[in-house]
Structure 1
Amino acid sequence: MAERLEITLKQPNPLFEKWLEKWLEEAERRNAKSQYKLREALHALRSYPLPLATGRECAILRGFGSTLCNLIDEELRLYQERQHISQLQPTMQTFQSDVKQLVHSIQKNKSRKLQTKITKKEQKAIADEEERQRQVIMSPGSFRIILLVDTQETNGKNKRTLDQTRCYLESFDILYEVRRLTIGDFLWIARDQEGNELVLPFIVERKRFDDLASSIRDGRFHEQKHRLRQCGIQNVIYLVEDYGNNEHLGLPIESLQQAIVNTQIHSGFTIAHTQNNFRSMKHLAGVTKTLIRCFRNKVLLSTTKEDLQPYRSSADMYGLLKFRALYEDSARGAQLTIREIFVQQLLQLHSLSLEKALAIVEVYPTPRLIFDAYEACTSEKEARSLLATISCGPLQRQLGDKISQTIYDFYKTDFQ
């Protein structure tokens, strides 16, 4: 009768332990909150009896989130480059490799059979989702930073002459591309040699004073600000440009200046004021050169909107959104919830700001709920003042009777 032989490795993952110990020591020195997760992960790794080949495989252990797994993978890649080897050789026997190869072959065959049963549209949806989930890592020196310009910013009326925006950017020796953007007018991407594109955490919405007045009158002003706040790019630059002598704008200049101040205080946007198109492009050229200096020595990782971390210039590694994901998610009306549609609907009403609309949907998240609340009122007078006491903004001012009555009339008036 054959006797079972059991082999236990004393330290199956020495490299990973070494890196975790180093990061834990740094976190404890800074008294960072991450020290608790790192300590939990290190304990789980020391207790695990088998070798792990990548950071992604560590996800099966306690304390290992996507960020920590990505950190290990990047450290592993740098280690391999220093050792001049193409891949890390696991200490496990070839049996494990054979099993993995067999499982991969079976999965591949099953995938082929499945693809024959689903439509091309479904196949494309699966491929798109796989592309969204694919991890992208850019090491320092492997990418270029490019300014993206929305097509609407470069469509000149006279096609025989070079567009001013293009001309100015070229004169400043700025690497740029013109393409359709679904959010903002200018943003920056990092692109590697494989064509992967990650969006830097800065975006510019450009408004000439006459366009600003027009957007306030037709309701685009609040809607655009709302979409910019929801897109996932943390630093929004609101670039305001003079229109001649700022006369004949359609709204008093004092009203426009107040709107700009509100944008800075309530929305948290950075305001930049320029005199003309040349000055605007010079400002963008300066921002571009600053971003190149800040990011060229960083490791860039693709991440999801939910996992984005606040931008810190001192960080050596930074998670960014993929451009394609930003483009699709920010498209007008793309994957909007009922709550978001309700906000956009309220913003079309006169004198209803974004802060007031958000305060209403905080109490009544859908139109159905506000209709039910109206029906529950004992009189029309009570219904017309239903929203008057809702507070909004930093000062928690009440909406008041006028806005409450306007919303009641909007939803309860029958149109024949």
Structure 2
Amino acid sequence: MEARLEIKLLEPNPLFTRWLERWLHEAERRNRKSQHKLRQALEALRNYPLPLYSGRECAVLRGFGSTLCQLIDDELRQYQVLASKGTLPMAATVTQYQEQVQQVVKVVQKKQQKQQQQLLKQPKKLTKKALQELAAAEERERIVQMCAGSYRIVLLVDTQETSGKNKRILDQTRSYLQTLNVEHEVRRLTVGDFLWIARDAAGNELVLPYIVERKRMDDLASSIRDGRFHEQKHRLAQCGLPHIIYLIEDYGDNEQLGLPLDSLLQALTNARIQSANIQVVRSDNHYRSMCYLRGVSSALEQLYVHAAKSLHSVDKTQLEAQSQHSSRSSSSHVGLLKFRALYEDSARNAQLTVREVFVQQLLQLHSLSIDRALAIVERYATPRQLLDAYGKCQSEAEARLLLAGLCCGPLQRPLGEKVSQCIHQFYMSDF
């Protein structure tokens, strides 16, 4: 059992603190305007828990401008000269910090040894959280079988789709679906806005291989501007469902969207070309979108219920292998994901790998599409590997163009010098 402690020195930066106190006292005595900035910087320095070794490092704190950082560096040089002559103790702060940390480590090690000895003597009791995790793991391992005729198909609607911004319109989506006699249920989805499940009498739920992301034209424009479009597209591609549908609604006359209409249509075309399992469907308004969902529900009823297909649960790897063999689609036995597995794997707060976090980080940069981000991660799986590659370059100019020739997307186009320089600047700049 690991113990996590917060190590906080009483005074990590005594030298810098003393200098700032002296300058603040002088500024207050002469009633200078700089006293406000100095007071703010001194407070930030006192609250900072780690030692700083130069004025440049102080720039991360509030109140430390370029002038104040330069003053600290000048004062530090004079202090080092005096210390080298034996007049002052050199690196006293660093030594003090190391000694205190070593003392804390020894205390923690002794405490951990005592706790481990006590745990060995006492029988282990599972906590409520551990029991829940164990039950969830067993549930995911359990195989679900649904015989033909023992299940019904239900459309699941994300909770955000039923809470309109306009208070006068109460659950418009749900109202339309009820009018169209579509069996549906509202619950929170971690990916997509609509999907279909097969549910049996025992309450088991398997997800049919279709998922819908609904966007109005103005929402599509804003999601492209802030990077959500690429992130959502990546999460949809990673969820495991082979058929992804973008349901795009017109927004009036599609004017004043924030981006040119041609740019939005091009983004949708690129998404469809770059991924064979993405389908784009256009509708005139919200009601027409719900009519489309009713049509898909009816088609799935014909495909699964009326065709008397038996269903069983599979994991994501098995589902991907199944989707690659089109001959299996006509089989009377179909493997599907469990809803709980899809929900947990697609959750935003699920445990992501370093590679997945790296992709999401790259997507926040301007001009970085999902294909470009994936091409970078294929070559350098983690930020650490990319930084090491930059460090091996002979010059900064070579480092700036390190990624320029990297081929991306179906057409294998090079990343380009501009984007390569942008990525280098982001990861190599001091903040």
User: What's the TM-score, normalizing by structure 1?
Assistant: 0.71
Change (3 A) 1:230 1:192: same
In the alignment, the residues of structure 2 paired with residue 207 and residue 305 of structure 1 have an alpha-carbon distance, to the nearest angstrom, of: 26
Equivalent residue number for residue 70 of structure 1: none
Runs (5+) with no aligned partner, structure 2: 1-121
Equivalent residue number for residue 429 of structure 2: 413
Correspondence 1:219-368 to 2 at 5 A? 219-268=227-276, 269-296=278-305, 297-308=308-319, 309-310=322-323, 312-368=328-384
How much has 1:335 moved relative to structure 2?
2.1
How much has 1:156 moved relative to structure 2?
2.5
Change (3 A) 1:231 1:316: same
Please say if 1:126 is aligned against 2:137. no
Alpha carbons 1:225, 1:267 under 8 Å: kept: no
In the alignment, the residues of structure 2 paired with residue 348 and residue 320 of structure 1 have an alpha-carbon distance, to the nearest angstrom, of: 33
Change (3 A) 1:161 1:412: closer
The letter for the 2-side match of 1:380 is: E
The letter for the 2-side match of 1:133 is: E
Please say if 1:205 is aligned against 2:221. no
Q: Among 419, 426, 429, which residue is 1:403 paired with?
A: 419
In the alignment, the residues of structure 2 paired with residue 241 and residue 161 of structure 1 have an alpha-carbon distance, to the nearest angstrom, of: 18
SS of structure 1 residue aligned to 2:315: coil
How much has 1:333 moved relative to structure 2?
3.7
How much has 1:298 moved relative to structure 2?
0.6
Alpha carbons 1:115, 1:123 under 8 Å: kept: no
Please say if 1:174 is aligned against 2:174. no
The letter for the 2-side match of 1:267 is: S
Equivalent residue number for residue 149 of structure 1: 157
SS of structure 2 residue aligned to 1:233: coil
Provide Cα deviations, 1:303-332, integer angstroms capped at 9, x if missing partner.
111111116542201011110110010001
The letter for the 2-side match of 1:141 is: G
User: What's the TM-score, normalizing by structure 2?
Assistant: 0.68
Alpha carbons 2:215, 2:248 under 8 Å: kept: yes
In the alignment, the residues of structure 1 paired with residue 424 and residue 200 of structure 2 have an alpha-carbon distance, to the nearest angstrom, of: 54
The letter for the 2-side match of 1:274 is: S
How much has 1:175 moved relative to structure 2?
0.2
Change (3 A) 1:117 1:315: same
Runs (5+) with no aligned partner, structure 1: 1-113
Corresponding pairs, count? 302
In the alignment, the residues of structure 2 paired with residue 313 and residue 202 of structure 1 have an alpha-carbon distance, to the nearest angstrom, of: 14
Change (3 A) 1:186 1:160: same
Please say if 1:192 is aligned against 2:200. yes
The letter for the 2-side match of 1:216 is: I
Q: Among 377, 390, 401, which residue is 2:393 paired with?
A: 377
Name the larger-Rg structure: 2
Change (3 A) 1:404 1:161: closer
The letter for the 1-side match of 2:232 is: Q
Alpha carbons 1:219, 1:347 under 8 Å: kept: yes
The letter for the 1-side match of 2:157 is: V
SS of structure 1 residue aligned to 2:330: coil
SS of structure 2 residue aligned to 1:351: coil
Alpha carbons 1:204, 1:238 under 8 Å: kept: yes
Change (3 A) 1:225 1:373: same
In the alignment, the residues of structure 2 paired with residue 158 and residue 351 of structure 1 have an alpha-carbon distance, to the nearest angstrom, of: 34
Q: Percent identity?
A: 64
How much has 1:160 moved relative to structure 2?
5.9
Provide Cα deviations, 1:105-139, integer angstroms capped at 9, x if missing partner.
xxxxxxxxx99632222221111100001111001
SS of structure 2 residue aligned to 1:307: helix
In the alignment, the residues of structure 1 paired with residue 165 and residue 358 of structure 2 have an alpha-carbon distance, to the nearest angstrom, of: 37
The letter for the 2-side match of 1:331 is: A
Provide Cα deviations, 1:178-207, integer angstroms capped at 9, x if missing partner.
111000000000010010000000000111
